[in-house]
Amino acid sequence: MTLTETRRQAPPAVVARALTKIYGQGDARVHALRGVDVAFATGAFTAIMGPSGSGKSTLMHCLAGLDTATSGTVHVGDVELTGLSDKRLTLLRRERIGFVFQAFNLLPTLTAEQNIRLPLEIAARQADQVLFDRVIETVGLADRLGHRPAELSGGQQQRVAVARALISKPQVIFADEPTGNLDSRSGAEVLSFLRASVRELGQTIVMVTHDPVAAAYADRVVFLRDGELVSDLAAPTPQSVLDTLMRLEG
C-alpha cells in the first residue's frame, strides 16, 4: 500500500456538519454560512475558494476554533469543537492546529528561529530536532534564523510562518491567503513549500485563497458562494479552477 492510499483510508482531519454562522441581529442579520457540510482528508492539501463575502474566511475561522459557529458541529480529529470553553479551544489550537495568516504572522521582538519555536514553547513541548532541521532545510532559511522579521523579505517572513506551523506537527494547518501579500515569485515558493510539506511530511493543509493559480497547487478545491458549498473539484489546474469560478459567478 502506498503512502497516499494509507492516507485516503484514514479518517478525515477536519469535518464540519450543517455549519451555520449568523452575524448581527434583526435587519442587520448576515448569514455568513448556511449549513456547510464538508470533510478535509488527512494528508491532503485542500483549497477553499469563493468570491469576496462568500464566507470562506468565516468557514476557516470556525473550523480552526478561532470563532464559534451559530449551529452545526466541527470535529478536529476526534474532538468536537462545539461548546468547548475558550481555554479548551486555546489548548486544542496549541496542540492540534497550525496557522499561516496573510500578514503579520511573526512577533517583531523575536528572531526567526524564536518565532518558529514559539508554539512549542507556549505548549512547553520539546522540539523534534530532526524535524526542525528538516523543516529549516526545506524552507531554506538556515542562514536567516538569527534575523528579526523586520530584516526579512515578505516571502521569507511567510516561509518562517509556514515553518512555525509545521514544527509542532499539528493535525491540520490553516492558511489564510498565505500569498496575498507576496509577489508571484515569492508566492510560488511558499505554495511549493506548502505542497512539499503535504507530500513529504504527510501534513494536512486547508488553505483559503481567491487566487486560481494558488488553488491549483492543492489536491482538491471546494467552492463557496453565499455561505453554501457549491462545487468540489479534484486535481485542479489553474484553468479548471478559473472555469469553475466563471461558471459560479456567471
Partner 1 sequence: MLRTTLAGLRAYRLRLLLTSLAITLGVGFIAGTFVLTDTVRAGFSQRVTAEADKVGVAVLPKGERSSLPVRLLERVRAVPGVLDAQGLVRGKAPLLGKDGRAVGDLATTAISIVPGPLDRATIVSGTGPGSDDRTAVLDKNTARTHGFRVGDTITVLDSGRREHRFRLVGLLDPGVDQELAYTGALGFTTATAQRMTGEKGFHEIDVAGADPARLKQAVAAVAGPGVEVLTGEELAADLASRAGVQMEALTVALLMFGLVAMLVAALVIYNTFNILVAQRTRELALLRCIGATRGQVFGSILIESVVVGLVSAVLGLLAGYGLGAVTLRVLTALEAPLPTDAPVTLSAPAIVAGLTIGLLVTVGAALLPARTATHVAPIAALRTQAEQRTFRAGLLRVLSAALFLLAGLGTAAVGALVMPPGQQVSLVVVMGGGVLTFLGVLIIGPVLVKPLSALVGWIPRKLFGVPGRLAVDNAGRNPRRAATTTVALTIGVTLMTLISVVTASTRVTVADKLDEQFPIDYLLVTQERDASIPRSVGESLRGRPELTSVVQIRDTRAGVGGHRVEVGTFSGPISPDVTAGAMGDLGPGQVAIAAPTAQRLGVRAGDTVAVRTKAAGTVSLEVVALFGGESPLPALTVAEPEFDRYFGAVPDSRVLINAADGVPADRARGVVDAAVAGHPTIKVSSSTEVRGQFDETLDMMLLIITGLLGLAILISLLGIANTLSLSVHERTRESALLRALGLTGAQLRRMLSVEALVLGLIGALVGVALGGVFGWAAIRAMLDGAVFSAPLGQIALFVALSGLAGVLAAVLPARRAARASIVESLTTG
Q: Which of the 8 DSSP states describes residue 59?
A: H
Secondary structure E strands in 65-212 = 71-76, 79-80, 97-100, 172-176, 205-208
**Which of 217, 218, 210, 197 lies closest to 242, judged by CA?**
210
Quick one: which of 3, 122, 235, 246 contacts partner 1 (CB under 8 A)? 122
Q: Which amino acid is at 109?
A: T
* Window 135-164: residues binding partner 1 (CB under 8 A): 148, 150, 164
Residue 101 lies near partner 1 (rule: CB under 8 A): yes
Quick one: which of 28, 108, 126, 250 contacts partner 1 (CB under 8 A)? 108
Residue 90 lies near partner 1 (rule: CB under 8 A): yes
With contacts defined by CB under 8 A, how many residues of the chain interact with partner 1?
A: 31
C-beta of 91 vs 248, nearer to partner 1: 91
Residue 126 lies near partner 1 (rule: CB under 8 A): no
CA 210, distance to chain mean position in Å, is 14
* Rounded distance between C-alpha atoms, residue 25 and residue 27, angstroms: 6
* Window 174-203: residues binding partner 1 (CB under 8 A): 181
CB of 107 to partner 1, least distance (A): 6
Cα separations in angstroms, 160 against 32, 61, 86, 213: 32, 22, 27, 22
Site residues, partner 1 (CB under 8 A): 57, 61, 64, 66-67, 86-87, 90-91, 93-95, 99, 101, 103-105, 107-110, 118-119, 121-124, 148, 150, 164, 181
